[in-house]
Amino acid sequence: MGALISLPFFGSMGAVATSALAGCAFCFTSKAASLAFKSCNCNSSIATRVGFALIFSLNSLLAWLMKTPWAVEQIKKLTLNYISLCETGKCHGTLAIHRICFALSLFHFILSASLINVRSTRTRRAEIQNGWWGPKVLVWLLLLVLSFLIPDGFFVFWGNWVALAGATIFILIGLVLLVDFAHSFTEMCLEKWESSSSNLWQYVLVGSTFGLYAATIALTGIMYAYFAGSGCTLNRFFITFNLILAILITILCVSPAVQEANPKSGLAQASMVAAYCTYLVLSAVGNHTHATCNPLHKSAGATQTTTVIIGGVFTFVAIAYSTTRAATQSKAFSAVGKKNGAIALDGNDSGELGMTSGPAVITTQPAPKNTPRYQALVAAVEAGAIPASALNDRSLYADGDADSDDEVDVAVGEERDDEKVAVRYNYSWFHIIFAMASMYVAMLLTDWHIIKHTTADDPKDGDSTIYIGRSDVAMWMRIISSWISVLLYSWSLLAPVLMPDRFGDWD
């Protein structure tokens, strides 16, 4: 989850991005999309997530193009001057960005509503999630076109309130899952270490801890060397304060009280949080608008253009990947697992961040031969009621939790179908996360600016380099995110100490 709001040093889109969009758009035509996912040699749930991640990435790249005067002029020409995004010589692609991201958000909200309470792929509505790629792509493209027919006033409200709220919630969810990942990854390494005869997982755990602390120190040194020069008081404060916080959480995680309440806490989790927060601070100071305190402003030419294009593409790919990870962690928020009074966010009994108690979460599907229906068939065979050959018919016992009046047959023998018995994640929650991620991209591309008029401020005349996130507001969003990450991680350590009765014994 560390990449969820990771923002490298971003930049413009030119002819390269345009060609990429054209090629990818062809690949996602109705027939090509359906064939691609039917023939994909991977688990069905993974293929579905990859498909939606690609659509998300394409939509984000298209929205990025709207920051260029060339793109908004093309829209004017294609619509025969019916849609004009330029007034008084100034293009306002800000609203165009919100239109494109709104179309994707609406697309996912529609899918979310249509997939409520789907618990099995035997439910007919599950086909909407895992199939029908051609119609889904066509609906997405239709919503893109229709979004440009909606009056500007709606998107002023949408961008200032709805998108801002959705983007903020998306960041908070990502930070919670980041801290949960730090705990669950460490506990997984410890369990593998204890159960394995080799020292591989010991090397993984110790090596990753030292590596992350080394990265934290190296990035801090780079920031002091290049972003904390004379007159850069604010940058110095950000860098120094982050270093202090990293030291504090390192001391806190190995303190006797925390170790007694939770022996599994340690330097591995702290190193991950410290490295991520340091990266956020580096991203913030690297996008500071103060030219004197940001040496990246001095770069120019082809090197700058290549850097910002690669950085921008990486940004959208990272967000798309992280969004799919967050979207499939529905059990982290909709279900709970209990271990001696402590709750696991992701159903793995990690227990660091939970608030309430409840039954343990089953994150893997039971093997068909372990299901009650199969055991009943075995009993019937032993009693002589049915022939033994019935046990070879998988369709008799590979049943899920589908709606009794809304089931379809599942093809037997599809080795790559990993959702034959039940869905592996909450489909409706999956699309809500993607909708909020689209709002986040809109706010990211518009530098978190509040739209005061329909002629929103946009790229300055003569500036062909279209940056992402280079504004004071965007800088502060990253800084605050790093502070919240530290706060959440500290609370995950202190909660068992302050409320031992609620979290129970960790042994």
Q: What is the pLDDT of residues 346-368, one digit of tens each?
A: 334 333 333 333 444 444 445 55
Q: Which of these, 380, 399, 397, 396, lies nearest to 388 by C-alpha position?
A: 380
Beta-carbon contacts of residue 259 (< 8 Å; ≥ 6 apart): 265
DSSP per-residue string spanning 352-390: SS--S--PPP--SPPPGGGSHHHHHHHHHHHTTSS-GGG
Please, which residues have CB within 8 angstroms of residue 475's CB and are 6 or more apart in sequence? 284, 285, 287, 288, 289, 469
Write the burial class of residue 263 (CB in 10 Å: 0-12 exposed, 13-18 middle, 19+ buried). Answer: exposed
The set of residues, in sequence order, having a beta carbon less than 8 Å from that of 375 and lying 6+ positions away, is none
- Between helices 93-114 and 163-195, what is the axis angle to 10°? 60
Asked whether 160 and 450 are in contact (CB, 8 A), the reply is yes
**pLDDT tens sequence across 42-68:** 456 788 888 998 999 999 999 988 887
**CA dihedral defined by 18, 90, 59, 451, rounded to 10 degrees?**
160
119 phi and psi angles, rounded to 5 deg: -115, -5
Q: Which pTM does this prediction carry? A: 0.73
Hunting for tokens 């998300």 — which residue is that?
A: 56
The strand pairing partners of 123, in sequence order, are: 407
Structure tokens at 368: 């068909």
- What is the H or E stretch that residue 133 is in? helix 133-147
Cα 277 to the center of its chain, rounded Å: 17
Q: Give the Cα separation of 150 and 287 in Å (integer).
A: 33
Instruction: Tell the residue number behind the tokens 């909407």, with chain if given.
Output: 128
Residue 219 corresponds to which amino acid?
L
Contact 467, 287 (CB under 8 A): yes
User: Which value, to the nearest 10 degrees, does the dihedral of the CA atoms of residues 253, 255, 259, 265 take?
Assistant: 10
Query: Identity (one letter) of the amino acid at 148?
Result: F
| Residue 29 in tokens | 């035509």
491, amino acid identity: W
Residues in CB range of 157: below 8 A, 6 or more apart: none
Interatomic CA distance for residues 75 and 144, integer angstroms:
12
CA dihedral 48, 50, 56, 61 (to 10 degrees): -150
State the pLDDT at residue 8. 38
- Alpha-carbon span 268 to 74, nearest angstrom: 51
Six-digit token pair at 236? 């110095």
Dihedral angle sign, alpha carbons of residues 483, 488, 490, 495: positive
Q: What is the pLDDT of residue 459?
A: 44
Residues 478, 171: Cα–Cα separation, whole Å = 10
Work out whether strand 342-344 and strand 337-339 pair parallel, antiparallel, or are unpaired.
Answer: antiparallel
| Residue appearing with tokens 């062909």 | 464
One digit per residue, the tens of pLDDT, for the chain of length 507 reads 434 444 433 333 333 333 344 444 444 444 455 455 554 444 567 888 889 989 999 999 999 888 877 777 777 777 666 665 555 444 457 888 999 999 999 999 999 999 998 888 778 888 899 888 999 999 999 999 999 888 888 988 998 899 999 999 999 988 888 888 888 888 888 888 888 777 888 899 999 999 999 999 999 999 999 998 888 899 999 999 999 999 999 999 999 999 998 888 889 999 999 999 999 999 888 877 777 888 876 654 444 555 556 656 666 666 777 777 777 775 555 433 334 333 333 334 333 333 333 444 444 445 555 666 677 767 777 766 666 666 665 555 555 444 443 444 444 434 455 566 677 888 999 999 999 999 999 998 888 877 765 444 444 433 444 555 567 888 899 999 999 999 999 999 999 999 888 775 544
Q: Which of 47, 45, 16 is nearest to 33 (CA)?
A: 47
